[in-house]
Chain A
Amino acid sequence: MTQPLIDIKGVTHAYQTQSGPLPVLDNLNVSVPEGGFAAVVGPSGCGKSTLTRLIAGLMKPDTGEVWLHGERVKGPRSTVGMAFQNPVLLEWRSILKNVLLPLEIVPTKLSKKEAEDRARHLLELVGLDGFEDKRPSELSGGMRQRASLCRALIHQPEVLILDEPFGALDAFTREDLWQIMHRVKEEEPFTGVLITHDLRESVFLADEVIVLSGRPATTQYRLKVPMDGPRDLEHLYTPETAEMLAILRHQIEIAQGRAPAESSEVAE
């Protein structure tokens, strides 16, 4: 196997709080191959968001190393795109200008016209054509999240980091966005890390699900999800999916300390 695109090696991290250090990550190892899409699930407050900040170079781990594309991450880099649960669109800009924001920071070869065309194309891809000149306040939550996704992709990042981007949406909108994610991945290939609380979301979108243990988090379990191209929602209701969900649910219970731990293994 070639070297993974995202490689997190033995990362340990603790936050300094008033009542002493609070360890959140303990010897965590995660690797995602190029074009892979890993979902990270785990109990709340187990350090999943810390993980995204480490990959994005927004924080440095206490010990251990984070590598992207064969280079050690020492600080923020322009090859990363991020989307959060809060779409954080800039209210004073149109949707199009919001999507173009990263290109004002990252050096780009695109001319102004080409950049705009690309932004329009992305907006069309997520079904927001016709909303380019609207303000974020005129859009619904799901639409804002789609615009935020376009912004994360505009500069063609190698790595897309999604920190619970669909967490605040209603169930139907969320399923909509899952399918859009498949469409986007096909047209705009990326290597992705998805933080989520939703097990169905993890097996629907990702080709590998990583279960983190409770705090301090370490890799407790890894589940490979057979993935052959885009899926439709039917996929959620197959016996295979049901079986995977059962395994993951059990692992989450272990992580929460509600079920006895067993030796962790990697299911194929």
Chain B
Amino acid sequence: MKTLFKITVLMLITSFQVYAQTETETETEILYSKSYETNQSTTALLEFRGSSVEIYKSPDDKFHIEYIIEFINYPNRKKKEARERVNIESDLVNNQITLVDKSKFSMYRFYQSETITGTLDLRNESEIKSYLYKSEKQVVNEINKAKKPVSLYAKYIQSANRYSESEKKEMIEKSNNRKRKKYVKRFTIKVPSHLDLTINSKASTIRIQEKIENQITLRADGGTVYLNEINNIRNIIKIKDATLIVNSINGGEVILDNSKRTIIGELKNVKLNSEFSQLEIGLINKNVEITDFTSKYLIHNFSKDFEALDMNTEYSEVNLFLPRNGGYELTTFGNYTKHFVENKLVEVSAEKTNGNTKMLDLNSKENDGKLSAIKVNTANGIIRISKDVINFGE
């Protein structure tokens, strides 16, 4: 009888724990909500630090701010503390809306040793052996996939090379089934189409979910920026130590400093200035100019009438797949640059320093009379050109 009782108590305790692990309780609260009337000359200055921000078109002429907190399996006794860490200020002065997130930098607690180890293990990145050509559609699919939220744990496990693929899958599934206590905070901002927007963010995730025409001045220091289609000739996008994932940029200037991952679906009418970055571009459209120092470029496609691509590079690695639509002429000028065409070294006569000689000239065979020009000014560079596959055999 005594033994039976003990077993029953143990079963009861165990079943409570199992039940607690499988049930997810989510509770959403709006912590801040404000709307401002705007006119044609209203501007907005938004400052974020460690924030998660989603920006949409406003359904009316008002500027809407909403800040929510989502508690997931979070203990009631700790919710108050989480709420108290939120500190948001906004105002409308001299026709400028300001919004500042002064909340304490308080992402949910994080003490999974494997995730920490994953973070510390990131340097074991596998070396890429080749690049395969991707159609514009394939690049867009990758962008859309990259935009889907992934847990930090999954991100680090995926990037840790000490696990096999099956081990990674198993660990992530196990983690997904585990009950977590956390809270997620998020801004939802709705912007009228006439409003000029300035965003300064640090270690934040900024998502502009829709195609927008607003003038945007964005400075992202760390974190990740996800954009859909941004169209404005006065746009300025500055990315430092951050990731940029964007479907299309039409107009303006993009400045990248140490962006380890930038994927751009399409570039049109853009001046791109980069250093110490890695970029993958799905499509080069009209009027694109690139200036770079020590970055790695991978360019997949050119639009039929892109007319001209100008690149000025120093110590850069330019990998490009030849245009598939329309005639082209590809010319490289400069000095001391190594060229690989269809994965074979092409010897070009070039001075070691200070020269600006013409080094390589490639023309499309299908010449319909109108050629688009790819002009690469390069010093101490590596240029790889291919139709389908770029191998790094050197």
Whether both chains belong to one complex is answered with no
